Amino acid sequence: MPKSRAGSTTKRSLGGACVTVRNDILLAGLIGRGIARSRTPEMHMAEAFAQGLRGVYRIVDVDTLPEEDQNLKAIVHAAETTGFNGLNVTYPFKMEVIPLLDELSPNAAAVGSVNTIVFRDGRRIGHNTDLWGFAESFRRNMDGAALDKVLLIGAGGAGVAVAHALADCGVAHLTIFDLDAARADQLARQVRDNRPGLTVGTTAALDETVTQGLTGIVNASPVGMAKTPGSPFPLGLLRPGIWVADIVYFPLETELLAGARKLGCRVLPGSGMAVFQAVRAFELFTGRPADPLRMKAAFDAFDQTPRETADA
């Protein structure tokens, strides 16, 4: 059971459930590997300060911990018993964390991936804010983009969320590619089961055949990150008229986006998804509405702050 903390509380409705929410504090953290340059803490702390909350947001970079402390179950337990509101979860723990939870939100259950844990009323509740985060970023920034045939690269935790988000946005035909073909097939089956009106297929190779009739590409793989540079899609196969989105946000201008921009393609960087998933997570942690513009400003200001290590 979480330790009690002094301070005011209130009952709020979140997703139809009445829960006890702290009014005056944000105590949260991010679990992952290679996340020293994550912008998530800045966004949450800036929003907490703007709303008059006391805030602490910790990065738990498993890569920097002694081997004996690299235990996901122990980390989650420690956060809960310390009195955290919740945790954000990133690569590679979005699926691994699920058995440690008491309950999944509808989004997390559909996606089978968790990026936000809320500790509330003695329970651990898993949410997926990546789905809404990508969908909201796409809706706000890619109005009118053709959704006839979209290629999704990456079928891991983030890719699963993006696949469902694309379905929410109205994609007609989704083709999934992953270096692990079995994982791509599994995601295709999952999306078909949950979205019966959507045509879903997989491809074993990224070649000219996959570009026929293609209207958009989304990279949901780690390729393009600072620690895994490169383009996940052959730049020579890009052509004007195909829009390109990337969920990577460090660097913001990935090799894929830079190549697409040179051709005049419409592009969507990973900053939008990063901001909107944080907006929804803040609301889940605190029970308060968050200001996307304020959190985007904190995200952008991160570039002005010197750092030494790379994000994942």
Q: What is the pLDDT of residues 155-186, one digit of tens each?
A: 988 999 999 999 999 999 999 999 999 999 99
- Distance set, CA 167 to CA 129, 162, 194, 195 (Å): 15, 9, 10, 7
Task: Provide the CATH number for the domain around residue 222.
Answer: 3.40.50.720
pLDDT of residue 34: 86
Residue 138 located in a structural domain: no
Residue 309 located in a structural domain: no
**12 labelled as ligand-binding?**
no
Residue 114 located in a structural domain: yes
pLDDT of residue 36: 86
**157 labelled as ligand-binding?**
yes
Residue 134 located in a structural domain: no
Burial class (CB in 10 A: 0-12, 13-18, 19+), 4: exposed
Question: pLDDT digits over 198-232, tens only?
Answer: 999 999 999 999 999 999 999 999 999 888 999 99
Do 96 and 59 share a structural domain? yes
Do 280 and 170 share a structural domain? no
- The residues facing 176 across adjacent strands are 152, 202
**40 labelled as ligand-binding?**
yes
Do 62 and 147 share a structural domain? no
Determine the residue type at 205: A
Give 144-149 contacts, CB < 8 A, sequence gap 24+: 145/215, 145/216, 145/243, 145/266, 146/215, 146/216, 146/243, 147/171, 147/172, 147/215, 147/216, 148/172, 148/173, 148/213, 148/215, 149/173, 149/175, 149/213, 149/214, 149/215, 149/216
Do 114 and 17 share a structural domain? yes
Do 177 and 100 share a structural domain? no
**20 labelled as ligand-binding?**
no
Do 240 and 222 share a structural domain? yes
- Centre a 10 Å sphere on the Cβ of residue 283 and count the other Cβ atoms it contains: 16
**57 labelled as ligand-binding?**
no
Q: Give the integer Cα–Cα distance in Å for 116 and 102.
A: 13
Task: Provide the CATH number for the domain around residue 299.
Answer: 3.40.50.10860
Do 287 and 230 share a structural domain? no
Residue 3 located in a structural domain: no
Residue 1 located in a structural domain: no
Query: pLDDT truncated to tens, each residue of the chain (312 aa)?
Result: 333 343 445 443 333 333 344 558 899 999 999 888 889 999 999 999 999 999 999 999 999 999 889 999 999 999 999 999 999 999 889 999 999 999 999 999 999 999 999 999 999 999 999 999 999 999 999 999 999 999 999 998 899 999 999 999 999 999 999 999 999 999 999 999 999 889 999 999 999 999 999 999 999 999 998 889 999 999 999 999 999 999 999 899 999 999 999 999 999 999 999 999 999 999 999 999 999 999 999 999 986 544 332 333
Q: Give the integer Cα–Cα distance in Å for 61 and 184.
A: 28
**158 labelled as ligand-binding?**
yes
Domains contained in the chain, number? 2
Catalytic annotation present for 94: yes
In this structure, are strands 86-89 and 116-120 parallel, antiparallel, or unpaired? Answer: antiparallel
* pTM (predicted TM-score): 0.86
Residue 137 located in a structural domain: no
Do 282 and 256 share a structural domain? no
Do 207 and 109 share a structural domain? no
Residue 4 located in a structural domain: no
Give the structural domain span for 201: 143-265
From 94, 227, 262, 296, the catalytic residue: 94
Q: Give the integer Cα–Cα distance in Å for 79 and 154.
A: 30
Do 95 and 40 share a structural domain? yes
Q: Could you check whether the bond before residue 196 is cis, i.e. omega within 30 degrees of 0?
A: no
Do 172 and 246 share a structural domain? yes
Do 174 and 70 share a structural domain? no
**58 labelled as ligand-binding?**
no
pLDDT of residue 22: 52
